[in-house]
């Protein structure tokens, strides 16, 4: 299949673009709130023992979040030799080291050697996974897993894993559970159910506006994505984060299966989410922010990477 990319260059441009965007996301999440303070004495990185559930979970997530960086760094090289391996590992390590050293000068953040080690381990693991997946015998078997259905199942499993973690699992919402199971069940049908997409959009609007008890004065709107997480969100934020990522990606999947073009498949839930978040300024107990819109964008990117190429004909005029 022709990708329209110049294969004569030593760099895989699509992988390099993903790597650039991913590093940008790491910079954003690692250096928030971007307020740096100069200290008189020297500051050094120290080891933080993994002796609590919070530190263990953070270490696990550091490994997981740096795996795509390692895989993308290796995939950016068309020749996957020792040089590419060393360069990819060195790049991930230097990115992590830069983040940890810079965090020493952010009052609300703390850089440490434990994060550096787990980030480097995640980079290494991502490189190894990419090397194994690049083998012809393995690549041929993995093609069957390159589908939106497998992506949705993986996101659903990740969401469910947090539900069983004490303290980190969000409160079980029956409507979310029902919608999640229904979407997975719809994946078993080859033919699309056209009425499913409008129903999901109506459900999304309902979720954004419940409990429908509006009051004034309005609460502030969080314009920076994930800002509420940084200022002290509950530990259950992790489970809520992955739950929303699954649900928004699932809505895109159902919309595309029903024949919607990409522009409308994205704009319809995007408009509902943005309008709903603005309305949440008048809903007590809700957090009005742009995070949900960015989760929709992330879901759209993941889904587009796994969407069958044959569906692209639906977007052609």
Partners of 77 in the beta sheet?
11
Better-scored residue on pLDDT, 163 or 91: 91
Structure confidence at residue 3 (pLDDT) = 45
Backbone angles phi, psi at 37, to 5 degrees: -125, 135
The pLDDT-based confidence of 117 (bands split at 50, 70, 90) is very high
Say if CB 99 and CB 30 are below 8 A apart: yes
Phi/psi of residue 76, nearest 5 degrees: -70, -20
> In the structure, how many helices (H) and strands (E) does the chain have?
12, 0
Q: How far is CA 258 from CA 25, 128, 197, in A?
A: 32, 38, 7
Cβ-contact 103, 30 below 8 angstroms: yes
Q: What is the pLDDT of residue 310?
A: 45
Token digits of residue 169: 């699992």
C-alpha distances in angstroms, 252 versus 139, 174, 241, 298? 27, 21, 17, 11
pLDDT, average across residues 83-88: 95
Give the pLDDT score at 114. 96
- Residue 77 φ then ψ, to 5°: -95, 130
Angle, vertex CA 229, rays to CA 224 and CA 232, nearest 5:
125
CA–CA separation, 266 vs 256, rounded Å?
10
37-41, 212-216, 272-276: the lowest-pLDDT one:
37-41
Q: Give me the residues paired with residue 1 across strands.
A: none
Confidence tier at 235 by pLDDT (50, 70, 90): low
Q: What is the mean pLDDT of residues 94-118?
A: 93
Is pTM, for the whole model, over 0.75? yes
- Rounded to an integer, the average pLDDT of 234-245 is 81
CA distance 59 to 97: 15
Half-sphere exposure of 254 (CA within 13 A, CB side): 24
SS3 23: helix
Q: Residue 13 and residue 87: Cα distance in Å, rounded? A: 16
Task: Among 7-11, 150-154, 186-190, 228-232, name the most confident range.
Answer: 150-154
130 neighbors 89 (Cβ within 8 angstroms): no
pLDDT beyond 60 at 179 = yes
If you average pLDDT over each of 125-139, 222-236, 250-264, 298-312, which comes out highest? 250-264
C-alpha 146: how far from its chain's center? Answer: 18
Which of residues 165 and 33 earns the better pLDDT score?
33
Q: What is the pLDDT of residues 56-74, one digit of tens each?
A: 988 998 999 999 999 999 9
Asked if 115 and 62 count as a contact pair (C-beta separation under 8 A), the reply is yes
């Amino acid at each position: 299949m022709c990708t329209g990319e110049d294969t004569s260059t030593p760099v895989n441009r699509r992988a390099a673009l993903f790597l650039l965007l991913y590093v940008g996301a790491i910079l954003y999440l690692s250096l928030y709130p971007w307020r740096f303070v100069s200290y008189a004495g020297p500051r050094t990185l120290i080891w933080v023992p993994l002796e609590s559930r919070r530190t263990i979970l953070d270490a696990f997530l550091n490994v997981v979040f740096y795996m795509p960086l390692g895989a993308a760094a290796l995939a950016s090289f068309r020749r996957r030799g020792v040089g590419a391996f060393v360069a990819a590992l060195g790049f991930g390590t230097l990115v992590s080291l830069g983040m940890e050293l810079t965090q020493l000068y952010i009052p609300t953040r703390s850089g440490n050697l434990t994060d550096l080690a787990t980030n480097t381990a995640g980079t290494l693991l991502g490189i190894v996974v990419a090397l194994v997946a690049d083998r012809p015998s393995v690549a041929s078997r993995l093609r069957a897993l390159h589908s939106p259905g497998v992506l949705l199942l993986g996101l659903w499993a990740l969401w469910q894993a947090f539900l069983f973690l004490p303290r980190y699992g969000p409160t079980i919402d029956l409507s979310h559970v029902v919608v999640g199971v229904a979407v997975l069940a719809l994946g078993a049908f080859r033919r699309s159910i056209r009425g499913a997409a409008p129903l999901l959009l109506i459900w999304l609007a309902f979720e954004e506006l419940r409990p429908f008890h509006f009051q004034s004065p309005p609460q502030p709107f969080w314009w920076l994505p994930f800002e509420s997480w940084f200022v002290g969100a509950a530990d259950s934020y992790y489970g809520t984060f992955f739950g929303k990522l699954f649900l928004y990606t699932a809505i895109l999947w159902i919309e595309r299966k029903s024949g919607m073009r990409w522009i409308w498949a994205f704009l319809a839930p995007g408009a509902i989410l943005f309008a709903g978040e603005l309305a949440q300024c008048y809903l007590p107990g809700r957090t009005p922010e742009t995070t949900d819109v960015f989760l929709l964008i992330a879901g759209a990117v993941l889904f587009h990477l796994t969407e069958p190429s044959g569906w692209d004909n639906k977007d052609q005029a």
